[in-house]
Every structure is written in structure tokens, then in C-alpha cells.
Amino acid sequence: MQGTNAGRGMRGATLTLRFRPPPNPQPASCPFGRACHPPDPMALPPAAPSRTLQHRRSIDVEVFARGDGLWEVDARLNDVKTRDVRLARGTRPAGEPIHDLLLRLVIDERFNILEAGSETRAMPYPGQCDVFDKAAGDHAGDAYCSLVGLNLMQGFRQAVRHRLGGVRGCTHLSEMSQTLPTAVVQAFAGVVIDTRGDGEGSERPFQIDRCHALRADGAVVREHYPRWFRQGDVSSSADTAPPAAATHPTSLQPETPP
């Protein structure tokens, strides 16, 4: 049905507004979780045919099992330009890194950081970028030793900003460190962490409700994790709650990125 709402306009003209009722809602059994329409494909902007590469930043994270119950995490950041760049101490030729930084952690299987350190291999200010002064406190020489004692799943990102923000650390090393919690989770998945949750007494897999594709009431969980499927039961805490206590590896959840 259509409704009308008539009113008097200028010079006695009649203005008629017609309202079209909304379409019938999708049934509750919509395969995409809620009353919805199938999602549109992700809209990646097309690359301009005439664009030219000016700068490449690469961040590479490798996680190694040591065989003694401990793990090593190597995170490396590299900045390279496609043109010669004039720096304070001379010209850096195209293709030679402006930054080449390495951060290494030694962790246990409960995500505790036991050892930490950094190495600056290429930098714009040699003798300055690679030396930390009194601002680093007890860790003068390498401020990133101060990561020891932190837990990757319990306030790690905030602690890095507190301990190593501003002049206390390196902007690029600290920024790169923000990727480490979820990188280690990926390394531990299926090895240290039970990601299936289908064994007797298993806890709910940590990844459920941590991603739009893994909604507890969504199609992926219904098909691949039927034990944990809950119709219309999505935890709002997935976006707001602090990480779970590190009492058992399978109960850990990565803290929400800032």
C-alpha cells in the first residue's frame, strides 16, 4: 500500500508526498547471520595505470620453535625508496634501506616475554638512532629490553606505548611491535592453542566472535564449529572486553587493536 500526505503549497497548489513501504525483511534464517542481504564484494579501488612506486615499507614477522619449550619472534621493518634521498649525513642511493630494524623476543607458551632486544642495521642518523640514552632508564643501550616481563595477550600494546613512547624508544620499532600479539597467535594456532574446540572438555575456540566472518551466529561457525554455533547470540564483549587472563593458552584472546 502507499500512503499520501497532502498539504497546501504556494498559490494554492497541492503538494502530495507518496511513501513507499520498506521491502519485506529477510527471514531469520538468513545465511549471513542477521536479517540481511548477501554482502557485496569488497571494493578495492582500481590501481591507476600511470602510478609510479616511490616508497616501500615491508614488515616481516617470523616465529620459531626452539625445541626447548620456548619460542623466538623476529620482527623486521625495512624502508626503501626508489630514488636517491638526501639525508643529514649524505645521500642514500635508491634501493638502499633508510630503515632496517630487527626486534627479537623470546617467549614461552603462555605468551610471556622472557628476553627482548633490538638491532638497528640501517638508519638516517647513525650513532643516534641505534643508541638509547638516559631516557631508556635502566635499559640504556637498548630500550627494548624493557619488554621483558610483559605478556603479549595482556595489555601489551598499551604497555609498549607507556614504556617506549616518544623519546623513550624508536617510532618504527614500537609501531612494528603492535603486530606481534596476533602474529604469535597465528604461530601457536593448532600447536599450542586448540583452535577446533571439538574435544571433550574443550573450551570455545578463541577466534569465535573476534572477526566478522566468525560470528557465533554466522554461517562459518554453523558449518565448521557447529558445537559453538549460537543462533542470534553474538558476544558484544569481543570488541570491548580486555583480554582474558593468561591462565591457560586456550583461554587467551588477543587484545583488540587500537
- The last residue of a domain, from among 187, 221, 239: 187
Which DSSP string do the residues of 99-125 spell out, in sequence order? EEEEEEEEE-TT-BEEEEEEEEEE-SS
- Domain-embedded: residue 44: no
Low-confidence ranges of the chain (pLDDT < 70): 1-40, 133-141, 233-258
**Same domain (yes/no): 121, 180:** yes
Burial of 46 (0-12, 13-18, 19+ CB in 10 A): exposed
Residues 45-82 have pLDDT tens digits of 999 999 999 999 999 999 999 999 999 999 999 999 99
**Same domain (yes/no): 252, 229:** yes
**Same domain (yes/no): 156, 81:** yes
Rounded Cα–Cα distance for residues 49 and 47 (Å): 6
Residues 38-55 have pLDDT tens digits of 566 778 999 999 999 999
Number of domains in the chain: 2
DSSP 3-state of 55 = strand
- Note the pLDDT of residue 7: 43
Of residues 176, 20, 186, the one with CA closest to residue 99: 176
Residue 195 and residue 207 in contact, taking contact as beta carbons nearer than 8 Å: yes
**Same domain (yes/no): 183, 200:** no
User: Reading across the β-sheet that carries 71-81, which strands appear in turn?
Assistant: 55-65, 71-81, 97-107, 113-122
**Same domain (yes/no): 178, 68:** yes
